[in-house]
Chain A
């Protein structure tokens, strides 16, 4: 009797990751057929709508691209830390910190020319995100405090801070006592590229490309990758881990903060407590799917954005939001699972059961 078992591949398949995503997507859609049939919908029509709404025409593309921007930047933030073996779970809060910085600049710079104001807002966003990551960075570099815990807990701080501002100091006097911050001034908005897509798409693309290049091609990125592979090896090679941890964590926070600034200036009317919208946590999934490589983040974010936009669009067809969410989860799960399984191959081996004694040799 021969049985299939999984054996680890000794070499990573070239181009295996995109292929695995495709396979995962197909499997997830196939499973989704039963889900949709069970809830009384025509799977083909639902899938067609998902595709049309996310990738069907330029307008759909623009919406998907806008969604991919915060996902990609948050994913990049996680991946930059991740390539050194650090976990920044605080992108959600850093997005908020960035948005706060940008919103603050928008409050004082209402009369500035558009390009100046937007640039200042984005710079403040980077600083805000970086500042929120500074504490965990110092604690980790100096005395080895686990950055997972510290960054995670600061999420709550940043989100509550926005709530406090929106309910208090930043509350719009003209909002009839609703807890809303004032609308952004028009000169604080990112220009539009096409349809709904804003300039942030290009900015995010540039930032991701720059980091991709920096990590894979520069001496700085090399040191980062050595440190991510083994801290002891980095010390052996003469790399200062403390400085590295500090810069990488702050940069990671800065990138997440940038995502907050772009989201505020490009997509939102005003800062709200829902602005970060789970992008920071989704960024962890994006980075994991991109195998912590900054260069892979853009493609994954696009896929992720399309799934989210497509998933939301089918709710207008009467598909309940829970079914839509399960479908989105299935697709991501399929892609992640296929990515992991792609590192194995199937091998046939002999035998599976303990056979019964043929001769009685027990005394």
Chain B
């Protein structure tokens, strides 16, 4: 071993160069590069589909790159598995936690990395000590199923630290956290960087990057468009510009339309969540013809349950749902569709589409009972309907008789939205319709919604993207704790006020239920 000369800069903790990774029909990484200095928190930014996750999976040994070089502390590595990467000191905290709910925190932390016999008191105190060292508040003897999302994430981080990861990758870690928990995470990550560990932080939330990262690398279309920018010398609008390049991230604000009479009227709606706790406490709202009403809120404040209750997929505990004056409170999902309710569910693949079935089969999900000849499905009519959808809504697809699972997220959503709109609905209920789509996909879906509004359709748009809500909606409602706590005029509202309402501090005099 030859120690490097004293005056040479130390090798970066991570150096990825010329990384190519192709998947069938997609180039995820096209010569991307990344350099992360030891002891820093480094943000990797980019839109959905920019190649961030692929690049991190290359770094953590999940994928092998088709081409390119991975260096850890200056040494070239060819990882064959995540355990190889871990042996080199690279640990990853995935978006979906990989924890055993019935095990305690300590058991989860040492799982697979322990001696054959786990002496619980010793392990628990060792885990507590490790947690203490990095300021990760946790109780080692509590079972994981009792923990909040933020606490579970800390367990995941502890798992990586326990395995002595010096380079920690976090894949969109704040997506599941409340704003308070996100701040706490930022503090923990800074703490680790001060301990000479290196943190790679994947995000598309700019304020977090400027909040607690040292440097940022921006990916776009699988390539690195800006490498290791010092965060202190840039600002969020510059980073946003880099992320989206020349294409507009948000559509123009649509011209005002005179709203008509009420189409969807929800009064005093209540329902339970999956755990059987009250999720909605009497929600009142009205959507008129030709108007987009937005619902903003931190995830988990009843938006999901509200959409399902209106769509007829969740039993209600009180209140009514009317469309065009017709009482639909007790109607089945099919009756609601027949009455003119189009529903774009939050969970595309598991609810709105049947992943194992063909494109054609998915296109007729709502209308198959009309494409019939006796007991048989009219195959020609189904194919014709599917062709029509594919053409009108510009769905890029392979053979129509192939399973839908091969389509990209944007095309899946076009097919789904197209199918719902082809029923000529009077009311469209859109839950997170643009989440996870690329810029083009977002634009296409937003344009479709705006066009429907222009045609006099009443649209209820539930979104976590505040920019989207501010641009598209005519009225903006904020939900907190299962109630509508405030209503804003999106053209006049300040982000700060809306943010305050989202965490339960509505402005004085605001609408409250």
> Which positions in A face B, CB cutoff 8 Å?
5, 10-12, 214, 217-220, 222-223, 225-226, 228-230, 232-238, 349-355, 357-363
Contact = CB atoms under 8 A, between A and B. Distances in A.
Contact of B355 (A229, A237, A353, A355): A229
B75 interface: yes
B74 A237 contact: no
Nearest to B372: A219
B78 A225 contact: no
A272 to B, nearest CB: 39
B502 interface: no
B250 interface: no
Interface string B349-375: 111111111000100111011001001
Nearest to B78: A351
Contacts of B368: 219, 222-223, 237
A353 B78 contact: yes
Interface of B: 1-4, 10-11, 24-25, 64, 66-67, 73-80, 84, 87-88, 311, 313, 332-335, 337, 343, 345, 347, 349-357, 361, 364-366, 368-369, 372, 375-377, 379, 398, 402-403, 406
Nearest to B367: A237
A66 B102 CA distance: 51
Contact of A237 (B84, B334, B349, B406): B334
17 contacts: A11-B402, A11-B406, A218-B376, A219-B375, A222-B364, A225-B361, A230-B350, A236-B333, A237-B334, A238-B333, A351-B78, A354-B78, A355-B78, A358-B76, A359-B2, A361-B11, A361-B74
Contacts of B352: 233, 236
| Among all A-B residue pairs, the 3 with the closest Cβ atoms | A238-B334, A360-B1, A351-B78
Contacts of B313: 232, 235-236
A352 B372 contact: no
Given A236-B313, A349-B64, A350-B64, A363 B3 contact: yes
A359 B355 contact: no
Contacts of B366: 237
Contacts of A222: 361, 364, 368, 377
A236 B78 contact: no
A180 B3 CA distance: 88
Contacts, number: 119
Given A11-B402, A357-B1, A233 B376 contact: no
Contacts of B372: 219
B337 A238 contact: yes
Contacts of B337: 238
Contact of B4 (A349, A354, A359): A359
Contacts of B84: 354
Contacts of A357: 1, 74-75
B196 to A, nearest CB: 11
A219 B406 contact: no
Contacts of A358: 75-76
B357 A229 contact: yes
A354 B87 contact: yes
A240 B352 CA distance: 16
A3 to B, nearest CB: 9
B350 A233 contact: yes
A350 B376 CA distance: 52
Contacts of A223: 368
A363 B10 CA distance: 10
A233 B398 contact: no
A10 B406 CA distance: 7
A219 B343 CA distance: 22
B386 to A, nearest CB: 13
A232 B73 contact: no
B307 to A, nearest CB: 12
Contacts of A234: 354
Contacts of B73: 361-362
Contacts of A217: 376-377, 379
B10 A361 contact: yes
A12 B333 CA distance: 33
A360 B322 CA distance: 72
A341 B74 CA distance: 39
Given A232-B350, A238-B337, A360-B1, A352 B80 contact: yes
A226 B354 contact: yes
Contacts of B347: 232
B78 A352 contact: yes
